[in-house]
Every structure is written in structure tokens, then in C-alpha cells.
Structure 1
């Protein structure tokens, strides 16, 4: 079993090293002033119950760094994780003492890069012989919207398009389960500020609730939600006629959106 640890410092640096053989190191530099970035691990060989400390140094001070890891299981499945750090005034960071500000885990977790690994489902789909690897989209409903965005920001994942329903993109204005309108406003403003508003298409439906599903699916304004061992009453929102109309309209537009982006 082999583990690949990768650190990215964009736009200046990108390098990787393989554990346990950290002698294999590749560095690309755009500046000859600063010493080459260095990634080290201690110990370089460890038992399953021993911690490994990963440190990066000779980096620009107070700058964001992404540390990622990939591993193939004995069955050949790819697992991966990543963590975002900020270097200190000396241009260093340490996975044991420093806090991850995003990625597969948050906070100071010395072995978070290891236990935070998840199967790389997107790559498994891309590698399927009946799938065109650069024409894969991701669609999410409800909390699946946030998972869609999280998957899309993972290292090596480049979906052709994303569809979010009653998370941050397409929403019912009578959604009683999530702050869909506010989330969409934030994402739209962020893309506009970055000059990428053309990448965002927003659908909004007055009178529609949270669960905008395929056409003719019945809608419940409230229902029992089982979170073992408890059952809770969850409000979804939506009025029958406008919700049904929203499902028909949204379904047609989603299919058209996917067709335009995946069959190009």
C-alpha cells in the first residue's frame, strides 16, 4: 500500500513526495530567490498506531497551502483527503500543531489527513469504460447541494457542470427547511465579484418548497423525519399547485442544462 502526499502553493509552487520514501522529491519553481520548498515527514516509516508529523517549509509567509494525500487500498480503490493551512511568519506549517482551515477536516488534528480519507468516487466514475471522463456532471438535492460543491473543490476533481436543488442554486421561495435564497445570494455575489457570473444560472420558484423533485412527484409541506432513535417533524414548505409547476419547469431546464454541458 503506497501513500502519495502532495502540497500545492498556487500560483508559485507545486510539488509532491511519496511516503515512505521521501527522498523522491520533485519541485517546480518560478523564483530563484527563495530556497526550494521542502516537505518532510517524521517518522518516514510508522506502525498503524503511530502518528506522522508532516511539515512544509521555505514557503511564502502568511500564505495558503493545500496538503493532500492519496492512497490505493489493497483492492486498488483510490482514497484521498486534503487540508488547507496558512503558513506562519517563517513560511512554515506543521500538520501536528497547526489548524486546518478547510478540507477533509477542521482544526488541529495531527492524523486528520489519514483518517479523513474518503473513496474517490468521482474518479471511479471517470475511469468507467462507458463514461466520457471530461463530461461528468454532479447533481445534488437538499444537503446534497453542499456535498456537490465540496466534491467539486477536491483536488483532481473537475466536473463539467454542477446542479444544486434547494441548496445554493435552484430553489423554492417557500423553502422552510434551508436558507436557500440567502445561500444563492452569497454564491452569486462571490462569482460576480470574481468576474465569473456567467458560470452561474439561478432558478427561483415562488410557492415551491424544499424538495423539488422530478415532475408529478407529490409534495408534503411537513413530514416525519427519522433520526434514530428519534422521529422529528420537518417542515419542507411548498404549496401543491406552484410546487408541481416548479418541478415540471425545473426538470426540463435541468435536463437542457446537462445536455448543453455534457453533450457539447
Structure 2
């Protein structure tokens, strides 16, 4: 008869021996972890590679980030090295973790708060987001306290080197102006109105800073202070902000666009369609509507809007799982009204399946729900924004590329100047100098070139 107990014991012994052998091998070797580039803008991809592992070695790649409020976020994926002992995140599949499959930037977009931590909004732009990436022996649970056999820090910035940040306090308008580096006359500008989670907001600058890092002069506008409600905001405030941009000596007055997020979209559409003062060259609306209901049914408001006399190119970006606002229905209604007005050809609509309300720049972690303060009652609630992590990440990456291309197409570069502001360009310049001056050559280590 078969000795099943003996067979199972022998099999477990072989598996244990292989595990011990792999661990002993890793103990005798030095795993090499590299991130290229180790410094870059938040919307730039980086390459994560692990070398000098045993063949077919299971490892966990773990990414940890500490927010400005000292809360921790993490992501992790389980990998197996190839025959040469290498793991390449951009090419290899994760077999589990906070993401699975071949995900180039999964270590960022799948990040989630460590239990006990809170979700937050990026406000400080003069410092970088640090992503601590480590290699751990599998199987681990991705806990931040787990030991890493190799680690690096990747810096992620919203402001490229040389971007100027100027506070604006003029004619009753408050905001921040961001100017790209390297040229005397920008020529074109984007007015950015980004609504914050919970109306608590004030001034939200990170998207505006990122636009400036891509060559667009940009002004982040402060609106809806903690004591305000949507009915408190007179349209004249936004028209004045638009005029301030037009009057700026580095901006061509007829090449100003508007980008709005959530309630900011309502403002942007109103300015473009009905203002006799503001004449934007193009508009981008993200997760917003052409109406904002105050104790009235949305359908009733839509029925009264009539035709939208929109006279500039319009890009609408929405997720079909938006649980905060009926953005896809609003986009359809806008299309119908623009068709009646005879200007539907100016409309481009992007609708992303299973994406939620908070469509942020690429690789930003997905937030399906968060704490929310109802401003008029000061009631604290949990707001559902919607979306699924993977689908939402796809929407953020794709929509950002299309937004930049849309702004470039319609605002246009009126000066034949190629603007290079990314950290990649800085690295290339530094490497060129180092080639001619060997004593200045940067040291090569696990993180790539160091400044």
C-alpha cells in the first residue's frame, strides 16, 4: 500500500528545502533595485527593475508613501524573477497584491491608506512626493514594517525646475499664477478652477502647477471659502479673474482657456456660453455639469436651459460610474443643446467605463469614498465618488494626455520655441555636462544618477 503520510512529508520537505535554498541564496547575494528616472513629474512613468536575484525567485515589490498629514499609503505586487534573476515591473506580471497583471505604474495608482491612515489632498508644491520602493522576500502582505533586502526613493514633483509660482491678490480675486521657465512671453494661459472634496477648499494648485510644467501658463483660482455656498459666488468674480489673466504682460489676451473640475465645470461653461466679458479660446470640463441644483430637481433645470450658445471648442471628461453627479447625462444634454444651437461640432466628449468622479492627473491613487462636510449645514458625511481602481487609473492616464493635446491644439504655440521642463531634460543636460567634465560625473548607484 502507498504510504501517503510519507509521500506528503517528503514533498513538504522538498518544498521547505527549496525555500531555505532560495533564502540562503538571497542572503549570500545583493539584490539590486533601480528606479529610472528617480526624479520626475507626477505624470511621468518610471521603470522599476530588480536584478541579481536567483532564477524563479518569488519577491514582493512594496511602495510606501507618507502624506503631508503624516498618513501612510502603500501598494505592493508579488513577482517571480526570470531565468536571469531579473524582475521588470513594466514587462512582468504581478501575481497578486494591490494590483495584478502587467501594470507599469501599479505601484503608484493602486496605493491605498494603511489601516488607521486618512485620505488627503496634495497642497504643498514646493516639496516632492517620496515613493519608498522596496524588495521583500515573498510571501509578504505588503506591510510597511516588513524588512526589505533593497530599497530606493523615487521623487515625484508637480512643479518642474524653473516654474515660477506667484501669488495673486488683485481686484478682489485670489489665486496663484504659474509661469513656465525659459521664455519671456508665454502667449497662452489656462484658468484652472478645481473644486475640493467637501467645499473646504480654498486654493487648489497642483493641477495648475503641472500644466505649467508642460509649458502652459496657468492660474489656480481660489473660490468657495468655508463660509461660502455656490449661490454666494457672483459670476463677476470669475470674469474678473479671466480679465486679470488677459491683462498679464506675458499672456496673449485671445489665447486663454479654462479648465474646471466638478463645480468648476459649471462655472467654466457659464463663462463660455453666457458671459459678455469672458471669451475663452477653449474649455475643458472634468466631472461636471452645466447646471447646479439648489433644492430643485436636475431634470427641471435641464428643461429650462434651452440651447447652449457655446462659441469655443469644449472637451468634456466623465466617468460612467460617477456617484457624485450625473455627468454622463449632463454631457448628453449639453450635446443636444449645442446641436440645437448649431455648434455641436465644437464638442468632444470622453466617457470612461467604471471611472468615478475624482479624475485626477495620472497615477494618482483612486478614492472611491471620503469624508465630506456639507457646507450649509456643517454636517459630516461620507461621500461616494464612484469608480473602480484599475478602470479609474486608465481614465486618469488617458484623459490627461488628451487634455494636454486639446489645449495645445486650440491654444497653440504662437512662438516657435520647444519648451523642455521635465526632469528627464534636466537629467540629459546634467549628463552632457558630466561627459565633458569627468570630475563632475555623478555617482551611479541603485537609484540611478544622483544630483
Aligned equivalent of 1:110: none
Deviations 1:210-264 (A, max 9, x none): 0111001111111101235321110100000000000000000000000000016
Say whether 1:216 aligns with 2:363: yes
Q: Bigger shift: 162-171 or 236-245?
A: 162-171
Picking from 241, 246, 254, the partner of 1:134 is 254
Residue matched to 1:121: 241
Distance of 1:250 and 1:263 partners within structure 2: 19
Match for residue 7 of structure 1?
Answer: none
Q: Is the 8 A contact 2:271 2:279 kept in 1?
A: no
Residues 1-264 of structure 1 aligned to structure 2 (within 5 Å): 77=171, 118-119=236-237, 120-152=240-272, 153-168=274-289, 169-227=316-374, 229-263=378-412
Query: Could you report, residue by residue, the CA deviation over 1:8-41 in whole angstroms, capped at 9, with x for unpaired residues?
Result: xxxxxxxxxxxxxxxxxxxxxxxxxxxxxxxxxx
List 4+ stretches of structure 1 deviating above 2 A.
Answer: 75-79, 115-119, 226-230
Task: Identify if the C-alpha distance between structure 1 residues 214 and 116 changes in structure 2 by more than 3 Å, giving closer, same or farther.
Answer: closer
CA 1:116–1:176 in 2, change beyond 3 Å: closer, same or farther?
closer
- Consecutive unaligned residues of structure 2, counting only runs of 5 or more, are 1-168, 174-232, 290-315, 414-451
User: Would the alpha carbon gap of residues 117 and 179 (structure 1) be closer, same or farther in structure 2, given more than 3 Å must change?
Assistant: closer
1:170 counterpart SS class: strand
- Structure 1 counterpart SS, 2:253: coil
- Over 3 Å counting, the alpha-carbon distance change for 1:124 and 1:232 in structure 2 is same
The one-character-per-residue Cα deviations of 1:164-187 (angstroms, maximum 9, x if unpaired) are 011142100000000001100111
Check 1:116–1:165 CA distance in 2 against 1; reply closer, same or farther (3 A cut). closer
CA distance in 1, matches of 2:381, 2:336: 34
SS at match of 1:188: helix
Q: 1:156 to 1:243 in 2, by over 3 A?
A: same
SS at match of 1:174: coil
Larger radius of gyration: 2
Q: Which moved more, 1:223-232 or 1:249-258?
A: 223-232
TM-score normalised over the length of structure 1: 0.55
Instruction: Report SS of the residue matched to 2:361.
Output: coil
Q: Secondary structure at the match of 1:133?
A: strand
Relative contact order: is structure 1 or structure 2 higher (C-alpha 8 Å, sep ≥ 6)? 2
TM-score (norm 2): 0.33
